[in-house]
């Protein structure tokens, strides 16, 4: 990826990656259970071996890789150093990197997060970042501004599959609109007029069933976690996303990572999931 290409809008780069490699995001989630399943110790060395094997296997063929920041942070500065290598090597191999950090704060703190994760020259800069809008959607403005200026993207939590989320996300405001729908509408406004796709996306769980959300005008990518081990099938994507399925980026982790540590088996597992998604949603 050249220095010039990074400034193309993230939405356009994502569409190109999906067209070339298929509609799939694979999480890099080096939790202790997976390290053990691979025969690796829960140490920085085991973390590095696991994460860089996933990059070697999948970054040349999968559209998006999604390292979960918490699993690297848990090892302190040495773990962050491994994350930096994951980001750099994934980009070098041609995949887009979505850093799953779910950052959400206000004012100068949100600006600092944006500088860390979305700014050229930062060792932790990713192509896109997950963010939380639950301090108020306006709290995301510093990240939105930096992402759009730098040709990067955001995925905003909207409707998640954890049962605790319902109390907030299904709450109704004075206009009788759910919090989740209000988030959808504000993301749609940011993406209005972008072609072929806006750069501000949403996170909507693939396991939530019928959402009750109007996603038709989002004009941005819809990250759909929960495929595979969490219970969602490729066929569920049409149920959850309806006519918006063309903008859906399903994400899976254990369903693919469980095939490791063999590089070839990891690639085969990812290719199988891509074909299942294509068969279900086109």
Question: Per-domain residue ranges for the chain?
Answer: 5-281
pLDDT in the model for residue 32: 95
Contacts (Cβ under 8 Å, ≥6 apart) of 251:
24, 25, 26, 27, 64, 66, 223, 224, 225, 226, 227
d(CA 83, CA 56): 14
Active site residues: 102
Rg over alpha carbons for the chain, rounded to the nearest Å, is 18
**5-281 CATH pick, 3.60.15.10, 2.40.50.140, 3.20.20.70, 3.30.565.10:** 3.20.20.70
d(CA 179, CA 169): 5
- Residue of 134, 54, 65 lying closest to 100 (CA atoms): 65
d(CA 21, CA 270): 11
Strands 153-159 and 222-225: unpaired
pLDDT in the model for residue 6: 52
pLDDT in the model for residue 277: 87
Task: Identify whether the C-beta of residue 184 lies closer than 8 Å to the C-beta of residue 165.
Answer: no
Helix axes 263-281, 44-58, angle to 10 degrees: 50
pLDDT in the model for residue 211: 78
d(CA 34, CA 22): 25
pLDDT in the model for residue 87: 98
pLDDT in the model for residue 9: 97
Q: In a 10 Å sphere around its CB, with 0-12 CB exposed, 13-18 middle and 19+ buried, how is residue 33 labelled?
A: exposed
What is the pLDDT tens value at each position of the chain, 282 positions in all?
333 345 799 999 999 999 999 999 999 999 999 999 999 999 999 999 999 999 999 999 999 999 999 999 999 999 999 999 999 999 999 999 999 999 999 999 999 999 999 999 999 999 999 999 999 999 999 999 999 999 999 999 999 988 898 889 989 988 889 999 999 999 999 999 999 999 999 999 887 777 788 898 999 999 999 876 566 777 778 777 877 766 899 999 998 999 999 999 999 999 999 998 888 776
């Amino acid at each position: 990826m050249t220095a010039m290409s990074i400034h193309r809008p993230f939405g356009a780069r994502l569409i190109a990656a999906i067209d070339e490699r298929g509609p799939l995001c694979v999480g890099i989630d080096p939790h202790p259970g997976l390290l053990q399943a691979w025969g690796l110790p829960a140490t920085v060395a085991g973390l590095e071996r696991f994460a860089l094997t996933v990059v070697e296997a999948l970054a040349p063929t999968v559209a998006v890789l999604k390292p979960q920041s918490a699993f690297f942070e848990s090892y302190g500065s040495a773990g962050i150093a491994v994350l930096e290598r994951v980001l750099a090597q994934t980009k070098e191999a041609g995949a887009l990197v979505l850093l799953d950090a779910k950052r959400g704060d206000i004012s100068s703190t949100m600006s600092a997060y944006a500088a860390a994760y979305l700014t050229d020259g930062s060792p932790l800069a990713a192509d896109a970042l997950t963010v939380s809008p639950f301090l108020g959607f306006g709290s995301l403005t510093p990240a939105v501004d930096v992402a759009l200026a730098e040709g990067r993207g955001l995925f905003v939590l909207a409707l998640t599959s954890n049962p605790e989320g319902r109390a907030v996300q299904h709450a109704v405001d004075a206009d009788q609109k759910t919090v989740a729908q209000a988030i959808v509408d504000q993301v749609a406004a940011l993406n209005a007029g972008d072609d072929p796709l806006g750069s501000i996306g949403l996170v909507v769980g693939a396991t939530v069933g019928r959402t009750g959300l109007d996603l038709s005008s989002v004009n941005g990518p819809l990250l759909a976690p929960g495929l595979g081990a969490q219970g969602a099938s490729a066929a569920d994507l049409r149920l959850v996303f309806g006519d918006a399925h063309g903008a859906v980026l399903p994400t899976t982790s254990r369903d693919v990572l469980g095939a490791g540590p063999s590089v070839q088996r990891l690639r085969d597992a990812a290719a199988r999931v891509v074909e299942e998604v294509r068969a279900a949603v086109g």
